Structure 1
Amino acid sequence: MRHSLPLAPQFYVTAPQPCPYLEDKMERKLFTALQGDQAQMLNDSLSKQGFRRSQNVLYRPSCSDCTACMSARIAVEKFTPSRSQRRIWKRNAQFERRATSPWATDEQYELFRTYLDNRHADGGMADMDIFEFAAMIEETPIRSRVIEYIDRETGKLAATCLTDMFDDGLSMVYSFFDPAYTKSSLGTWMILDHIEIAKDAGLPYVYLGYWVPGSDKMGYKAQFDALEIYRGGNWELLGDVASFEEDLHPLSNDPIAEQVANISFPDSRSTSS
């Protein structure tokens, strides 16, 4: 006899706090624990529904009066690099990719601190010590890799990305790079390289986290062709950013109970005789 049981975890909501992306907005997140033997299956399923992983937690924005944050992914086969992106790709031929297990190193942390001190000194991660950094890298119940980029000319670590592996793509959980390479546009280049990795692996998507119209921190994602956003329970091509209309009416947000009720869960299947 075959039994099919849905994986339905418990969900919680964070207390409202100032939004890190938009002024005069408050953010709130819907989240659940990611653990157990079915963690990979749950992560694959919920990531297709706008959720994002942070260590052992899956979360999705669930603000009471704003829907600006939308999960974004690149459709690999439809992607065509722009002229500037082609130049960036050629410009960075000096870097060598190295995929490793999710294990934190002193060299990674030193690069991480340099990146934060120069780019995000007032951000939420500014005070992370080496133990918290190690937890961010190593506490993963799913298939994850650390993608390092080495400068062949100096032998030094220039950039790093913590990358999750889904059944339908790659998710760039967090990336950072040496600010000395600012002219190399390493942030853009790492996304282009992940598109190549996904293409070689036959994976259709590269997940970029959240696109937030009106946010300087997150607006760069719209520069990528074939960008899809998760809105209203469906994935759709973003298209022309200038013509995008955001729905900020408070009544456009479903109550938390309805949001949870509309989440689809994978089935855990077992066979017994």
Structure 2
Amino acid sequence: MLAQAHHPNHLSPQELDEYLKQGWFRMGQTIFHTNFLNFKEEYFSAIWLRVNLDNIYPDKQQVKLLKRNQDFRIEFQRASITDEKEALYSKYRQGIEFQASSSLRNLLYGVAHQNIYNTHEVNIYDGSKLIASGFFDLGRNSAAGITSFYDPEYKKHSLGKFLIYSKIDYCKSLGMLYFYPGYFVPGYAAFDYKLEIHKSSLQYLQLQTNRWMPITGFSDADIPLRVMRNKLEELRFFMDRSQLQGNIMKYEYFDANLVPDLIGFELFDFPLLVNCPHKLAGAGHLVIIYDVRDNQYHLMQCRSVWTSNAPNTDGVFTSHLLKVEYDVFSSEDPLPMVNVLLVHLSSEDDSLQSAVF
């Protein structure tokens, strides 16, 4: 699945390590995995990151931050939520562009009343004034950065980056092997700062192979959404030549598997699809996707599990929440896929002749 969520009642340190290794992250007490994001109706790929702590040393950026912030006091402790931290979080939240949880308590706990994670925090003080806080979870050999926030009046001190460096140093001192800072988003600059922290030891999870690779080798070919769109545009070119209808559309509900009430339904979770002519699909929906995990086009028969009042508009499929019934056909190349569509359609439309390539 490209989007999943679990609600464990208990999580051992070893289990957290394994979740993190597979590119999972937690929000509230839910732990989830996704490969695609929707920011202001624009879709992006989420590329998961980790820092190999084995051979890290202070890089140039960290040395500058240590010097710039040498007069501040840093403290580590088990996590706790206080009015002081909530006030600081609220002040920080008002100055950011992206959407964030309504409160620190909601971010860490959600609707739960207890924490199943071994959560610690780092706090930075200017004298007695709390100016920055960061929270992170500890596993057995790995740690995950959950959130960092700071007083906007101290923006010139780059406290967000400084907090991440502080967490990493602390985790390395505990003998941890990996630190997971979350994801970055190609084409959405708000998360790019993560790419400059211990870059020589930074790795990304390659969706195509499910392997952790050095970030220095990252390229456009590692952006799943871009590859999917390029491949579907190639397919559409050959469909047009064969007078086959079908549009590339964004699928509104690609992250429905993360909705608490829908967890476990294993719904269709691709962000892009080609919506084929309805008469090919019978009572269901016939769609084509490109899956970067096996480098193949897939013709899928889907059924609607919920119907929306909103029609499909502006290249967005919103009319139905889909579930895959079965995989009709798959192919590495677009031409076999087009020919399969032609065979299906020719039995219903004698005026359409199969193209010869």
Structure 1 unaligned regions, length at least 5: 1-12, 14-27, 258-273
* Match of residue 109, structure 2, among 132, 135, 141: 135
Change (3 A) 1:59 1:117: same
State the alpha-carbon separation in 2 of the partners of residues 185 and 47 from structure 1. Answer: 26
* Match of residue 252, structure 1, among 289, 292, 316: 292
Identity rate, percent: 21
Structure 2 equivalent of residue 235 of structure 1: 212
- Please state how far the C-alpha of 1:243 moved relative to its aligned partner: 7.4
State the alpha-carbon separation in 2 of the partners of residues 195 and 50 from structure 1. Answer: 18
Query: What does 1:115-194 align with in structure 2 at a 5 Å threshold?
Result: 115-120=92-97, 123-125=99-101, 128-129=102-103, 132=106, 135=109, 139-151=114-126, 154-194=127-167
State the alpha-carbon separation in 2 of the partners of residues 78 and 246 from structure 1. Answer: 28
State the alpha-carbon separation in 2 of the partners of residues 169 and 138 from structure 1. Answer: 25
Change (3 A) 1:138 1:101: farther
State the alpha-carbon separation in 2 of the partners of residues 64 and 70 from structure 1. Answer: 10
- Alignment pair present for 1:89 and 2:66: yes
Whichever residue aligns with residue 182 of structure 1, its letter is K
For each residue in 1:32-81, what CA deviation from the matched residue of structure 2 results, as whole angstroms up to 9, or x when unmatched?
11213x44443221111100011221111144998821221111233344
For each residue in 1:148-206, what CA deviation from the matched residue of structure 2 results, as whole angstroms up to 9, or x when unmatched?
1222xx31111111110021222110110111111111111111112211221111222
State the alpha-carbon separation in 2 of the partners of residues 181 and 173 from structure 1. Answer: 21
- Alignment pair present for 1:98 and 2:138: no
The answer to whether the 8 A contact 2:28-2:108 is kept is no
Q: Secondary structure at the match of 2:18?
A: helix
- Please state how far the C-alpha of 1:82 moved relative to its aligned partner: 3.6
Structure 2 equivalent of residue 7 of structure 1: none
State the alpha-carbon separation in 2 of the partners of residues 174 and 190 from structure 1. Answer: 10
The answer to whether the 8 A contact 1:67-1:253 is kept is no
Whichever residue aligns with residue 73 of structure 2, its letter is E
The answer to whether the 8 A contact 1:52-1:209 is kept is yes
Give the alignment's Cα RMSD to 1 decimal. 3.0
The answer to whether the 8 A contact 1:170-1:194 is kept is no
Change (3 A) 1:35 1:183: same
For each residue in 1:61-120, what CA deviation from the matched residue of structure 2 results, as whole angstroms up to 9, or x when unmatched?
144998821221111233344423311121111222222333210000000011011124
State the alpha-carbon separation in 2 of the partners of residues 133 and 243 from structure 1. Answer: 32
The answer to whether the 8 A contact 1:64-1:253 is kept is no
Larger radius of gyration: 2
Change (3 A) 1:105 1:234: same
Whichever residue aligns with residue 239 of structure 1, its letter is T
Structure 1 equivalent of residue 185 of structure 2: 212
Which protein has greater RCO, CA pairs closer than 8 Å, 6+ apart?
A: 1
- Please state how far the C-alpha of 1:139 moved relative to its aligned partner: 4.0
- Alignment pair present for 1:35 and 2:12: no
